[in-house]
Structure 1
């Protein structure tokens, strides 16, 4: 399977590689003060374009990155979710950002489960983390519902070294045991 063929379907979502047509809603996400608060802050459209290109670039260079998440029924781009490990990062992250009109619908959980399953199966990772701002309570709740626990404070590489984060995470064995238990009748 080539990278361009990677497609994960859940009950309501499609996770796939980013495409240029995703950019309009991505730019809206980064234009929103509330939506971008914990992911670097607002940025003008031209800067958002350069940031948008990080994920396709990571797919090309590393063979993985966050997926674009789209609503299966409408094809609407909702956000991004998935594996992320830039140089100097504190671990194998499953990260995400969603357009504000996608919040509160369970899309983060649904796409996170699919992304974690994929990362463990396809990338062979032995653990995952989530780097979460201490004030980002909704993301902390998602991490807890995924079975991740607070590991402690973390430090991101430059130029993000002054951005406070707490590291949440779990090992592969814990995730697989939890998934097996969920599948039991």
Structure 2
């Protein structure tokens, strides 16, 4: 898959992050609501470093800034190798102002469709009900549960 490819849906444009996206990414990484199930807000220094790193994701990974067609930044979608060493993992972070409007589902669906991989997994905390609902709405099914990062995690897969 060409991870630099721009994707479009009815309501969204997804493209690799650019320098102009750094402040939004930094704020997303520092947002206590967005980061509630992701280990909490990052420190100033960590958030700055992570945001910068998103401008050049590692080989074999993809990262897209999801924007409304009018240009408003909404969140990020990632496609990266999972820690199991076998599968690719889709993950996402959206600003709370974008929650409940279907943007996450639309963006993740576009990335999964473009990737056209035989199997993609996603890992979320069991208590992150919004994420659980999003993954199930995409047709992903639970394949495992485990304790990681001090919380019960659920692993979903596309196949």
Whether TM exceeds 0.5 here: the answer is yes
RMSD, aligned α-carbons: 2.2
Indicate conservation of the 8 Å contact 1:90/1:154, yes or no.
no
Distance in 2 between the 1:81 and 1:70 partners?
A: 11
Out of 111, 118, 123, the position equivalent to 1:115 is 111
Indicate conservation of the 8 Å contact 1:130/1:168, yes or no.
yes
Distance 1:25 1:112, change over 3 A: same
Structure ranking higher on relative contact order (CA contacts 8 Å, 6+ apart): 2
Out of 74, 80, 87, the position equivalent to 1:91 is 87
Distance in 2 between the 1:3 and 1:88 partners?
A: 21
Distance 1:3 1:151, change over 3 A: closer
Indicate conservation of the 8 Å contact 2:22/2:52, yes or no.
no
Gaps of 5+ in 2: none
Which has the larger strand fraction?
Answer: 2
Say yes or no: does 1:170 pair with 2:150.
no
1:106 match: 102
> Looking at CA atoms only, which structure, 1 or 2, has the larger radius of gyration?
1
Which has the larger helix fraction?
Answer: 1
1:62 match: 59
2:142 match: 150
**CA offset at residue 112 of structure 1?**
1.1
Name segments (4+ residues, structure 1) moved above 3 Å: 53-57, 86-90
Say yes or no: does 1:136 pair with 2:124.
no
Out of 62, 77, 92, the position equivalent to 2:73 is 77
